[in-house]
Amino acid sequence: MREDAAAESDLARAGYRDRLLTELAQNAADAAARAEVPGELSVHLDGRVLSVSNTGTPLDEPGVQALVALRASNKSGATVGRYGVGFTAVLSVSDEVELRSTSGSVLFSAGRTRAELRDLDGADPGAGVPALRLAWPTVNRPAAGAESEVVLTLREDVDAESLLAYMAREAPDLLLELPALVSITVGDKQFRRRERPLDSGLTEVAIGDDRWWQYESGRARWLVPVRDGVVAPVTEDVLRAPTRSDEELSVPAILVADIAMQPDRRRILPGAAIAELATGYAEFVAAVPPDQRLSLVPVPAFARSEVDSALRDHLVAELREHPWLPTVDGKDKAPGRASVVPGLTEELAELLAEIVDGLVVPDLSGPRWAPALAAVDAHRLGLARLTELLSGVERAPSWWQRLYAALEPLAVDALAAEELASIPVPLSDGRTVTGPRTVLLGHDIDEVLGVDWTRLVHPDAAHPLLSRLGAKTATAVDLLSDPALRAEIEDLDPDDAAAAEELSVAVLALAGRVDPGVLPSWLGLLPLPDVDGELRGADELLLPGAPLAEVLVDDSPFACVDSAFAERVGEDALRAVGVGWGFTVLRAELPTGPDHDLDDEDRWWDTLDDDPDVMGAVRDLDLVDENRWPQALTMLARDPATRPLLADRAGYTAWWLRHNAESDGQVLGLLRDPADETFAGLLDPVEHPESAVFAAALAPATVDSPELAQLLLDRLADPDREPSPAVIARAHSLLAAAAAGHLLDLEDLHLPEHVRGLTGALVDPADALVLDEPWLAAAVPRERLVVGSLDTAESLADLLDVPLASTAIRGTVTGSGRESTWDREPAAVLAFAALGRDLPRGPVVVHPRLTVKLTGAVDAEIAVPWWVDEQGTTHCSESWAEGTWGAAGVV
């Protein structure tokens, strides 16, 4: 008996107070299960008396025997044990326990047991007596509506209110653990358990405002809390078998298990089949909404116990082997047969659904779920592998554009870009190539197809991601300047009209997007249909109604482009590739020689000192009808493409016009701009409203050609011309400069019968004299004096075959004068200072009146203002010296 008392005392001290309601609830649940009725448990406190009543099967004789024997019942199955070891928990709070039942009641009393033992052997047994060994019948019955009631008189050391509060907190857990119970009432608080089956196979369990989803599988019942329809996985709990044990767990759901436990029901028995508890867990996870399933996967973490470690391993193994992972095709897959694209979006999932088998839904593909997916060995599909799967896929270009847009958020760094480097790219010509690094993206080029000479991305597939992956951007000008296009044009079969049309349509679609005059001239080779249906190069065709046709010779090689074709592709595009409307401009970068099929190009090239960096020239000027040059010049001057070329005097266009274009029967190079007075009276002004625009194609303000020199010589000798003395002197000066610069071959010039004197008179060359010394101007009659520049007087004399005045006339100073020096003459010093020039050095002779005796071509004695004798001494008259020291001749 004493050993029994010690056992009871040990159980009470082992913490059974916190299991009091648990064990009483187990008994109530067992009673309800045996009676097959919903179990109800009620706890009430009346002063120091705690009553716990329940429905179900009442107390019977075997039950009483089990209690006094301190052993568990021999029941098996879903029941836990009725009034067995767990009933000992009452000793943690009471020494007076009455078990009332509708079939009879018994009382357990430590005091009465102590008295019985004392009467038995006369010795005082002390405090430790086996209170549950002796039972006394009582006549009390359970509370109304109850089949059994446990009435406990609480010891003085028990805080009754705290005990009741603890029981209230424990009640919801017990309702979860013991499904035979439907309600627990603790004082004035009632907790009721409601169940509702769900279509997914889960059961919704509700206790008050709290919700759980429950799933039963074999020997386990799984429950997970739910808040607003979303599971809230538990982070730490204990194994419940069926009530709480001491086996700590860290799995995401509450586990209520049917597993062998040690007698105190705190630990499982060694060797218990933990693996069996994991069976069906994958089905539980599969029953949860797809976007919440991964929250029920045990992710790697430190296990809280050996049981926890083993259970986690078995759960993960279960999840790896069974289908539960939702995929975009609506089917559940085992993780090993599923593929996860990290960061998958709804858009990308839609595009990849038919390409990637077992693609995990986007909701579970974010970084939040990566640890859970890794735990179950789900196959991670990286961008590189995804690119491989896309190889060979045939889809519309717009599908690819959507794919690039969906992939763009995933290309976050250089590594991701490298993994996407081989992604297929559809081209505008219908091909699909591997990798963006070899393709071109059109800039502002919409709906242009058929560009097969380069790898141009189909406009419906173009996306900025391709640029990030290495695609280059090309404008229409870039594409139309590609040498590969030139090669394709040159290789076209002239008899293959279909191929020519296909290429021309693509080229013209691009050409319509460029500014005039920026495309290479070789695009003029593009074959286009003329009015007769024959293919001709674009630069051999004119647009319908082209004004150029009005100024060309009647037998020009140009034909008119087919009008229906022109209307279909657009006139701007045709003009851009060289089809004529006005004059066509040829442009070449870094030309190296006269190989551009321009009229007289080699002659023009010879006029250049160096090859130009850029060559621009108007084509087909040689085809202009000579009688239609006024209209042609108007076209050239008013066309923005050709107008700048007219201003470049060294350029081909102005050069050709200068030598070949005519106005009123004269080439432009021999006519002058009306605003240019250099050769007024000698050269005729061109009569054209745009003359200022093409002034560079007219005669210059210098003599730059033998033709102009010859014309000036002839016009100087023409009696019908009346040039001014200034024009005469300027013309002689410029002619002499050209001769001195060896621009003229004197043997090739034809000298007229007369030369023009300073006064405008025509002079016989035999009588004329070229002024070469300034003081001789006073010695030669002005009508005989041919004046140019003193510096080139000798060249002028050779050109005109007229003697120099200094060689044809001798002059001797007569009379004497006052010898002086320049620095002694105040008037000279003042004059040169006023002019800002250096004062000459040396002697000067001042005469009251200076006279010179002339011989040779002029025989006379005349008075002169100043003279330089053969010794180089300057002579001057006093009156001239005092008033005109600043004369240019002296200087």
Residues 298 and 373: beta-carbon distance below 8 Å: no
Nearest alpha carbon to residue 584 among 594, 592, 593, 574:
574
Tell me the percentage of the chain whose pLDDT exceeds 90: 73
Angle between helices 706-716 and 725-740 (to 10 degrees): 150
DSSP category for residue 416? H
Distance CA 600, CA 583 (A): 17
User: Which CA distances in Å does 721 have to 196, 676, 681, 861?
Assistant: 123, 17, 6, 35
The number of beta carbons lying within 10 Å of the beta carbon of residue 863 is 12
Residue 130 has what pLDDT? 78
Q: Percentages helix, strand, coil for the chain, rounded to the nearest 5? A: 40, 20, 40
Question: 472-474 and 440-442 as β-strands: parallel, antiparallel, unpaired?
Answer: parallel
User: Which CA distances in Å does 245 have to 22, 30, 168, 224, 238?
Assistant: 11, 18, 19, 18, 6
Strand spans (E) along 422-551: 424-426, 432-434, 440-442, 472-474, 527-529, 535-537, 541-542
Q: What is the pLDDT of residues 536-584, one digit of tens each?
A: 999 899 999 999 999 999 999 999 999 999 999 999 999 889 898 889 8
Overall CATH class of domain 2-190? alpha beta
Tokens describing residue 256: 């209520």
Helix (H) or strand (E) holding 169: helix 160-177
- DSSP three-state, residue 585: strand
Beta bridge pairs of residue 204 = 196, 213
Residue segments in the chain with a per-residue pLDDT below the cut of 50 = 1-16, 71-86, 884, 886-891
Cβ within 8 Å of residue 647, ≥6 positions away: 654, 693, 695, 696
Residues in the chain: 891
Tokens describing residue 85: 């070891």
Residue 257 has what pLDDT? 95
Tokens 């995933």 map to which residue?
Answer: 410
Residue 440 has what pLDDT? 93
Query: Domain boundaries in the chain?
Result: 2-190, 198-321, 382-474, 494-582, 587-697, 706-803, 811-883
